[in-house]
Amino acid sequence: MTIKMTRLFTAVLLLTLASCAGTAEQESPMDTTSPTGGPGINISPDLLATTIDPICNMDLAQSKITDTAHYNGGIYAFCSKGCKEEFQKDPAKYVKQ
């Protein structure tokens, strides 16, 4: 009886450990996607100077923000890296003062 109980306990313990390791492995790739500039940045629209992509005029409140840039004390969001690069060539051209 005691041996059976111990075996059951060990099995449960192993299952718990296995499921814990499984979740940890699933969580880490999700954590690394956002800071490296992968698809989609989680940024509050309140922090942005405007939710409109200054290059292509896309409303980023409705779609994914891929990249952001700081200019003139404000944060500008872009739908793609290309839009950000275009913005950084001549920010004054796209920001209304």
Q: Looking at beta carbons only, is 55 or 76 nearer to Zn ion? A: 55
Q: Looking at beta carbons only, is 20 or 56 nearer to Zn ion? A: 56
Q: Looking at beta carbons only, is 4 or 89 nearer to Zn ion? A: 89
Token duo for residue 50: 């405007």
Helix (H) or strand (E) holding 74: strand 74-78
Number of residues in contact with Zn ion, rule: CB under 5 A? 6
Residue choice 60, 65, 77, 83 for contact with Zn ion (CB under 5 A): 83
> Does 65 interact with Zn ion (rule: CB under 5 A)?
no
Helix (H) or strand (E) holding 11: helix 2-33
Task: State phi, psi for 35 to the nearest 5 degrees.
Answer: -65, -30
- The residue behind tokens 């940890």 is 24
- Residues in contact with Zn ion by the rule CB under 5 A: 53, 55-56, 58, 79, 83
